[in-house]
Amino acid sequence: MDKKSSGSNIFMQPVKAYFKQNYGILLAFLVMCVFFTIFGNNFLTKTNILNLLRTCATNCYLAIGVQMAIILAGIDLTGGALAALSGVLCVMTFENAGLPIWMGILVGVVLGMIVGFANGSIITYTGIHPFVVTLAMQSICRGAAYLFANGSPVTTTERSFGVVGTGSFGPIPLPVVYMTVFLIVDFFTLNKTQMGRSIYAVGGNELAAKFSGINLNRVKIFVWTVSGAMAGFCGVILAARMSSGQPSTGEGYETDAIAASVLGGTSFFGGTGSVGGLIIGVLIIGTISNGLNLMHVNSYWQFVLKGVIIIVAVYTDRLKQKRQNAA
């Protein structure tokens, strides 16, 4: 008897904790799902769920980085434009420069890291607010993407590159596989590494973290570099899915990533935010447009509903937190 209950504890405790921590937003998500199952066509089918997850994947890549930046009481607005730039340069690497495809992928991700590193360094060493730095960098990346691509998409006919984005592992689309891997790594980084703890600490109270012997510069540069790398990867996958690097793509993606983080309970004041919450946030953002598309809702209404859902969901979450604090 004893053994059994302790066994169930080991597995059930984190699950329970997860539900307890996120029940407000989980409930909102559940309500949405039930609603779409009833009123939409084929919402709860295997194809649609895989489809939904594939759509979520690109947002999730960005959201992982953006959430880290928000936990650090910062922000990263470079994502969408950086993804476009990475996609363009990735395809150009093997189309124009004739290098192997894996080099192209590497170039895309490394470029993301470099831009992210630049963001982090500027933020750290100039003390300019991350909002301003990453906004300016967004403009720079967007311009650079257009300049490299000369305004038009850079297309490729390499089948094997396309597979990176459109292939699947068993029934599961590859982008979803990557997403899962990244989320696991993200979870471990945030919870099981010194760096992860430091991110929460710096976000919670920068000065206290400094006095505790944490190297602020390293933490900040790490976060923005990771965020940049994720954006670079996002750009590569987008390019692979479309078999072309599009300089105009990704506009406003960072907004969805921010929305996903915030819906998942990441506070703009820094220091809080969980991977579990992020997952629900990403799912909600993805489900809104997927479900409404299945319900044949006009795309204009989707804008309106997205805005309303964000405010209501975040508010619900806050109310829940208040109640919990009171208890």
Site residues, a second copy (CB under 8 A)? 75, 122, 126-129, 131-133, 135-144, 146-147, 151, 255, 258-259, 262, 267-269, 298-308, 310-311, 314-315, 318
Say how far apart CA 119 and CA 226 lie, in whole Å. Answer: 11
Structure tokens at 135: 């906004």
Q: How far is the CB of 316 from other proteins (least distance, A)?
A: 19
Q: How far is the CB of 113 from other proteins (least distance, A)?
A: 20
Q: Residue 54 binds which one of a second copy, other proteins, none, with CB within 5 to 8 A depending on kind? A: other proteins
Of residues 21, 48, 124, 321, which one binds other proteins by CB under 8 A? Answer: 48
Closer to other proteins by Cβ: residue 56 or 310: 56
Do residues 93 and 107 touch, judged by C-beta distance below 8 A?
yes
Closer to a second copy by Cβ: residue 218 or 306: 306
171: closest CA among 286, 282, 47?
A: 47
What lies within 8 Å, CB to CB, of 15 at 6+ separation is none
Q: Tell me the Ramachandran region of residue 215: left when phi exceeds 0, alpha when psi lies from -120 to 50, beta otherwise.
A: beta
- 173 DSSP 8-state letter: E
Q: How far is the CB of 303 from a second copy (least distance, A)?
A: 3
Do residues 119 and 224 touch, judged by C-beta distance below 8 A?
yes
Closer to other proteins by Cβ: residue 118 or 201: 201
Task: Decide if residue 151 touches other proteins (CB under 8 A).
Answer: yes
Say how far apart CA 17 and CA 12 lie, in whole Å. Answer: 8
Restricted to residues 238-277, the positions that interact with other proteins (CB under 8 A) are 238, 241-244, 246-251, 271-272
Q: Dihedral of CA 65/66/69/70: which sign?
A: negative
Which residue bears the tokens 């489900």? 287
Q: Residue 244 binds which one of a second copy, other proteins, none, with CB within 5 to 8 A depending on kind? A: other proteins
Task: Decide if residue 39 touches other proteins (CB under 8 A).
Answer: no
**In Å, what is the CA distance from 141 to each residue of 83, 85, 174?**
9, 6, 27
Closer to a second copy by Cβ: residue 11 or 300: 300
Say how far apart CA 210 and CA 200 lie, in whole Å. Answer: 12
Residues that bind other proteins (CB under 8 A): 40-42, 45, 47-48, 51, 54-55, 58, 146, 150-153, 155-157, 162, 165-166, 173, 188, 191-194, 196-198, 200-201, 204-205, 207-215, 238, 241-244, 246-251, 271-272, 289-290, 293-294, 296, 298-300, 302, 325-327
